[in-house]
């Protein structure tokens, strides 16, 4: 069976199609975003159970490249890439963690955290970047004139691009907002040999420059406006369902910045519904930082209008975006999945993240945003205590150790430190240690949530 995919304009009234190996990011006729479309008729020649079995059979297998949770679903993702051109780090298959203790504390028995940050470069961006860089390698092998791949980034896209390009031997260029990403995120592209350029602006400013830069056909754009990335990222929905033995959760909560990932989540569920792998829709919740909340503001007005905002400084730096590229795609997905958008303040995201860490996680501030929103919606009755809820954790906490250090040492502005755990310096003798233990062992168990904070 041969499967096909192509770029298609997302505006149904236009619907223009372009071959998948075209260097193109927006529709030439109407300037809308594009999406990758698949020959659903060909895919539908097999039924849902057939696909489930195929995907399960490839799970962690050693036959290249199908052990990757992205390429294990190659027919649904990007069948145009030859196996020999796949650039893969065996992405996906990240743990779906049953947050039993955190769930008990907040009164949600069936709470799960999808740890997408447990990945090669420490964020979910690997899922999409493997598809994009593989397609670039394919195009180069077909004689296209691409000489480099570029992106604007809040830190994680650049880390993923740098690593995958380094593995493939393709030059990469990253445009970063100077001083606005974590130290770990800055050193990642530097280490991988990327041309690392720090611009005195914010993410939206870097995005504007990279869009101009990539008008030159020899520099390929790697931002999520390039819908190849969405194809890889949509596998997160398939993985979640697969990890629940093909059952669909009631609610999925995901942090949103440029809004590619929430659209990808919707697209994955949509495809499983269409091809008969599942028969139910989850509710999708998009969680935004209150200081960078253009989708939330639009949601309050029923998505009737959209105004970009100037993003304020937030601890959730990877979603500090005021003019999200994938706004229209995200709204379409939220409309189909009974969507909710909620926001979290700095105080809320920092404390939610710290509380979750006290139950064994080591989560990033964006996961903190999603957790804080989960707490709030539970309090508001929009999530029920009996719901099966999945929170998408987008990056590994180790990339954000400064945020955690500042929290536990009480160095953050505008944050109450409900769960700060300060290290103590004491004398180097048994008595001092015993005295410290006597003081602290009693309070250790008492991790609780103060609901008054979550009722706003
Ligand atoms: C990129 C990113 C997000 C936001 O994803 P979008 O597709 O831009 O909405 C959230 N969290 C982390 C850690 C990220 O790197
Ligand atoms: Zn169009």
CA of 261 to the centre of ligand 1 (A): 7
Q: Which of 366, 368, 370, 400 to mutate to test the pocket of ligand 1 (most atoms within 8 A of CB)?
A: 366
Pick the atom of ligand 1 nearest to 254's CA: 10
* pTM more than 0.85: yes
Task: Report the nearest atom of ligand 1 relative to the CA of 255.
Answer: 10
Segments of the chain with pLDDT less than 70: 1, 445, 456
Q: What is the pLDDT of residue 341?
A: 98
pLDDT of residue 36: 98
Residues 6+ apart with CB under 8 A from 409: 420, 422
Ligand number, closest to the Cα atom of 161: 1
What separation in Å is there between the alpha carbon of 292 and the centre of ligand 1? 13
Is the distance from CB of 391 to CB of 368 less than 8 angstroms? Answer: no
pLDDT of residue 445: 64
Residue 224: the pLDDT is 86
pLDDT number for residue 192: 98
**Which atom of ligand 1 lies nearest, measured to the CA of 395?**
13
237 lines ligand 1 (CB under 6 A): no
Instruction: Please give the Cα distance from 149 to 371 (Å, whole number).
Output: 34
Backbone angles phi, psi at 374, to 5 degrees: -60, -45
pLDDT digits (tens, 9 = 90+) for 48-104: 999 999 999 999 899 999 999 999 999 999 999 999 999 999 999 999 999 999 999
pLDDT of 329 reads 96
> Any idea how long the chain is?
456
Q: What is the pLDDT of residue 1?
A: 65
Ligand number, closest to the Cα atom of 316: 1
Binding site membership of 263 for ligand 1 (Cβ less than 6 Å): no
Is any atom of ligand 1 closer than 6 Å to the C-beta of 319? yes
**Backbone φ and ψ of 341, nearest 5°:** -120, 130
Per-residue H/E/C for 244-300: CCCCCCCEEEEECCCCHHHHHHHHHHHHHHHCCCCCCCCEEEEEEECCCCHHHHHHH
Q: Whose alpha carbon is nearest atom 2 of ligand 1?
A: 318
Residue 447, pLDDT score = 82
Domains of the chain (ranges, CATH numbers): 96-122+230-404 (3.40.50.1100)
Atom of ligand 1 nearest to the CA of 156: 15
Residue 188's pLDDT is what?
A: 97
Q: Which residues surround ligand 2, an ion (CB under 5 A)?
A: 9, 11, 14, 16, 27, 29-30, 32
Does residue 256 have its Cβ closer than 6 Å to ligand 1? yes
Ligand nearest to the CA of 126: 1
CB neighbours (10 Å) of residue 16?
A: 14
């Amino acid at each position: 069976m041969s499967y096909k995919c192509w770029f298609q304009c997302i505006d149904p009234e236009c619907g223009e199609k372009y071959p998948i190996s075209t260097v193109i990011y927006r529709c030439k006729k109407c300037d809308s975003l594009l999406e990758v479309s698949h020959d659903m008729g060909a895919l539908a020649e097999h039924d849902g159970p057939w696909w489930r079995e195929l995907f399960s059979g490839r799970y962690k297998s050693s036959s290249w490249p199908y052990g990757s949770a992205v390429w294990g679903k190659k027919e649904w993702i990007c069948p145009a890439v030859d196996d020999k051109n796949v650039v893969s780090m065996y992405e996906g298959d990240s743990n779906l963690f049953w947050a039993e203790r955190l769930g008990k504390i907040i009164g949600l028995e069936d709470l799960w955290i999808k740890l997408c940050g447990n990945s090669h470069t420490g964020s979910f961006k690997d899922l999409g970047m493997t598809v994009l860089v593989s397609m670039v390698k394919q195009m180069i092998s077909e004689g296209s004139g691409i000489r480099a791949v570029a992106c604007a980034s809040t830190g994680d896209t650049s880390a993923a691009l740098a690593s995958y390009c380094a593995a493939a031997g393709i030059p990469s260029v990253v445009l970063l907002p100077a001083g606005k990403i974590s130290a770990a995120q800055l050193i990642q592209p530097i280490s991988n040999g990327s041309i690392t350029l720090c611009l005195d602006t914010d993410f939206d400013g870097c995005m504007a420059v990279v869009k101009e830069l990539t008008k030159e056909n020899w520099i390929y754009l790697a931002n999520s406006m390039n819908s190849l990335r969405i194809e890889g990222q949509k596998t997160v929905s398939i993985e979640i369902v697969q990890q629940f033995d093909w059952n669909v959760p009631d609610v999925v909560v995901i942090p949103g910045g440029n809004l590619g990932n929430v659209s990808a989540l919707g697209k994955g569920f949509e495809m499983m519904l269409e091809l008969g792998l599942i028969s139910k829709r989850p509710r999708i919740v998009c969680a935004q930082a209150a200081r960078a909340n253009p989708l939330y503001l639009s949601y309050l007005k029923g998505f009737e209008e959209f105004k970009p905002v100037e993003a304020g400084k937030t601890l959730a730096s990877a979603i500090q975006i005021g003019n999200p590229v994938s706004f229209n795609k995200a709204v379409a997905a939220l409309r189909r999945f009974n969507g909710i958008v909620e926001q979290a303040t700095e105080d809320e995201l920092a404390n939610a993240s710290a509380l979750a860490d006290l139950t064994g996680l080591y989560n990033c501030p964006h996961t903190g945003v999603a957790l804080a929103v989960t707490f709030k919606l539970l309090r508001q009755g929009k999530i029920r205590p009996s719901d099966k809820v999945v929170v998408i954790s987008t990056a590994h906490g180790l990339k954000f150790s400064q945020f955690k250090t500042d929290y536990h040492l009480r160095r953050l502005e505008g944050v109450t430190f409900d769960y700060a755990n300060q290290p103590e310096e004491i004398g180097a003798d048994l008595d001092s240690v015993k005295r410290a233990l006597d003081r602290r062992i009693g309070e250790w168990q008492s991790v609780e949530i103060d609901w008054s904070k979550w009722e706003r």
